[in-house]
Structure 1
Amino acid sequence: MNKYNWKRIVVKVGSALIAPNQQGCSSHYLLSIAQFIVRCRAAGVQVVLVSSGSVAAGKHLFPDTDKVDITTKKAMAAAGQTEMMATWDKLFDFPSAQVLLTHADLRHRDRYVSVKDTIFSLLDNGILPIINENDTITTDKLKVGDNDNLSAMVAAAADADALIICSDVDGLYDKNPHTNDDATLLSWVNEIDDEIYAMAGGATSDVGTGGMKTKIQAAEKATSHGINTFIINGFTELSFNMLLEGKNPGTHFQPYDEPMQEAVHWMTHTSKAQGAVIVNNDFDAALNEETEQLTPESIVSVEGDFAVGDTILVRKDDGTKLAKAKSNYSSCLLNFLAEQDDEKFASAFQDKTGPIISDKNIAVLEDS
């Protein structure tokens, strides 16, 4: 197992593996995944399991599924979550723990650190963390939306060496293998660019919420943290046997040679901007961890409603994204300063109260 020299891994399992027929949970495809986890742990590798499936597992308990509104879907998640946890629990002879998250738990720094601490405490005590998005209470504003991206955020929080994303195909192909017989599997991806994203189509499963695109997004998040990422076929035992032998059964996304610093990675890929500060198109001040030159006179407008400590996006009036950073001012106060005709007043105010954005852990963006 340790031919890869892994100390800690995250395994992501989708709804199609949990409840393939949407008639409750099935252990048919989960047995080989559970055995893989057991053998990893026996080899001294810590494992975190990110498991979708609560909605799919609970769907059969609701007779009228032709018109499923959001409230019913949340109820399905509530009912299915217990069945899903019970299914996993019976496949292991060691304790497991349920961890339900919303994006709010990850995008707020203090709560993110608390999640990290909980995961490490469970692992240190030999308990398998089983993580899922809390579909019962989440809203559009709070949800991650898919467990592929959630698994990457969890992998970063857990300082994992590898992220293994189980799919219904062998990995990333240059075209959809379900509709193209000449599709070619990419065994290695050294860099995730527009060409790689163009190869990702929609969801190929009728059960899951994610497709290949969300898996590529997850791989981008994880590899930028220095995490080896694999997309494999979770429906075949061969995939897991090959991983145990130190072989690549699917697509292996290579990690960055120089991973982002942890706090900058969190700001870039996990923290969600609650608003935006729009600056002049000729704004050319350096925004980085050492230098901060954003001043009230540079601000054209303020978008959104945010408080002190929230993450905001700094972008030019032409749409060019410059950075994500923690705001030291509320949107209300920034609006007030931006509207002042007296630049000396605004500058004097800033001199007394400090910088507009935090001069620590600024995530500089290259997207325009």
Structure 2
Amino acid sequence: MDDLRDAGTPADDSELAIEGALRPTSLTEFVGQQKVRAQLQLLLDAARIQRRPPDHILLSGPPGLGKTTLAMIVAHESGRALRMSSGPAIQHAGDLAALLSSLTPGEVLFIDEIHRMARSAEEMLYLAMEDFRIDIMVGKGAGATSIPLDLAPFTLVGATTRSGLLPNPLRDRFGFTAHLEYYEPEELERVIARSALMIGVGLPGPARDEISRRSRGTPRIANRLLRRVRDYLLVHADQTAGDLAAVDAALDLYDVDRIGLDRLDRAVLDVLIRRFRGGPVGLGTLSVAVGEEADTIESVVEPYLVRIGFMGRTPRGRIATPEAYAHLGVPHPTGALPLHDL
């Protein structure tokens, strides 16, 4: 089930091709995030009128909400080329210097997970963003010299799921910062309707609504669930049109329940409630008990459980709320306090 909601890349070329085809290519096609779209449109229009590259842009928010797609749209609507990289790939200042020095005038550079860049590369990026210049050190020790290298003007689009980890000097050099919010069910239904049309799947309104309610407020998950429904229809019904019953059967097969919880989500709640009596439990202990990496629980599972009120974070550890007990059908222990009383 992890591939239905994981923030990583698709498993094969066909999935990558489909995911790329479903991406909108303009702000008018992009569904949701109305305020961010309006702000970006103003930024791009002003840059076009002044015939200059758009200001540097920082996009933050949970995985799967459209940060990469918006970076592609910025390049497309600016009529510029797009260069893509990621923070983990830039672990030395030399890596960044090679990338920046190869940019063409006006090119858009997209760095995903920018908070994971090496500190030495971050410090080099400060000067590059502000003055379109970098200093390259030649030699070592007392004989080392700094050689300035001018860069072609470019637009940096940074994406991060953890904006709090960005140092203030880097964050301050972005001309525009936007935070992407989770989608409402009606917005996700519009995403699903558009995607279903593009991949040739016919679904009535109730079926689209069911997928949207199980998509955790995330378009990427909605599109992946839609593709699994398409697969189910092709294999079990030998057709590309389905109803609510077919959607229920397909998503139940992949262990996605009515509110979007999957096997790992329920495993975390089950361990927290049945083994540790609802907590509090430290993240490390919870990770060992479930048999999953702590980072996966913290970055993938926990945010959604906290958002829907099934888990709370306290100074002593994670706790399960009465709503989580009710969802799993486990009686709530007598005398336990609701989350808002802790």
- Per the shorter chain, which TM-score range? under 0.3
Taking structure 2 as the reference length, what is the TM-score of the superposition?
0.26
Higher helix share: 2
TM-score relative to the length of structure 1: 0.25
